[in-house]
A = this chain, B = another copy of it.
Amino acid sequence: MTSPAVLCSAMQRHRALFKQWLLVSGRKSRASSAHLPMPPTLSKHNGQLQPRRRQFHWTTRSRSQDVEFTHVRYNVQRLGFAAVTTEDMMFFDSLLPGRVVTDPDILEASNVDWLQTLRGRSQVLLRPQTTEEVSQVLRYCNDRNLAVNPQGGNTGLVGGSVPVFDEIIVSTAQMDNIISFNTNSGVLSCQAGCILENLNNYLEERDFIMPLDLGSKGSCHIGGNVATNAGGLRLLRYGSLRGTVLGLEVVLANGMVLNCLSSLRKDNTGYDLKQLFIGAEGTLGIITAVSILCPRKSAAVNVAFLGCDSFEKILDIFKESKSMLGEILSAFEFLDYSCREVVCEHLKLRNPLQEAPFYILIETSGSNNDHDQEKLNHFLEKVMTCGLVTDGTMATEENKIKAIWALRERITEALVHDGFVYKYDISLPLERIYEIVIDMKNRLGVRAKRVVGYGHLGDGNLHLNIVSEAYDQQVLDSIEPYLYEWIAQHSGSISAEHGLGFKKKDFIYFSKPRAAVQIMQQMKAILDPKGILNPYKTLPPFSQ
Residues of B within 8 A of A326 (CB): 296, 298-299, 366-367
Q: A368-B371, A513-B259 are in contact. Are A273 and B520 (CB under 8 A)?
A: yes
Residues of B within 8 A of A244 (CB): 239, 243
Report the minimum CB–CB distance from A368 to chain B (whole Å).
6
Digitize A225-261: 1 where CB-to-B-CB distance is under 8 Å, 0 elsewhere.
0001101000100011011100000000000111110
Residues of B within 8 A of A185 (CB): 429-430, 460
Report the minimum CB–CB distance from A501 to chain B (whole Å).
10
Residues of B within 8 A of A516 (CB): 258-260, 270, 273
Contact B375 A258 (CB under 8 A): no
Q: Which residue of B lies closest to A183 (CB)?
A: B319
Q: A184-B430, A371-B375, A431-B184 are in contact. Are A268 and B500 (CB under 8 A)?
A: yes
Report the minimum CB–CB distance from A537 to chain B (whole Å).
11
Report the minimum CB–CB distance from A403 to chain B (whole Å).
25
Residue A67 CB within 8 A of the other chain: no
**Residues of chain A at interface, number, CB under 8 A:** 93
Q: A242-B272, A258-B516 are in contact. Are A366 and B327 (CB under 8 A)?
A: yes
Residue A325 CB within 8 A of the other chain: yes
Contact A374 B375 (CB under 8 A): no
Binds B, one of A13-21, A68-76, A488-496: A488-496
Cross-chain contact of A182 among B280, B318, B325, B429 (Cβ < 8 A): B429
Cross-chain contact of A269 among B299, B365, B512 (Cβ < 8 A): B512
Residues of B within 8 A of A497 (CB): 266, 268
Residue A519 CB within 8 A of the other chain: yes
Report the minimum CB–CB distance from A38 to chain B (whole Å).
28
Give the complex CA separation of A368 and B259 in angstroms.
44
Contact A268 B520 (CB under 8 A): no
28 CB contacts below 8 A, A to B, read: A182-B429, A184-B318, A184-B319, A185-B460, A228-B268, A231-B266, A263-B491, A264-B427, A264-B496, A265-B427, A265-B461, A266-B493, A267-B427, A267-B496, A268-B499, A269-B512, A270-B500, A270-B517, A270-B539, A271-B279, A272-B275, A273-B516, A273-B519, A327-B365, A371-B371, A371-B375, A519-B527, A523-B526
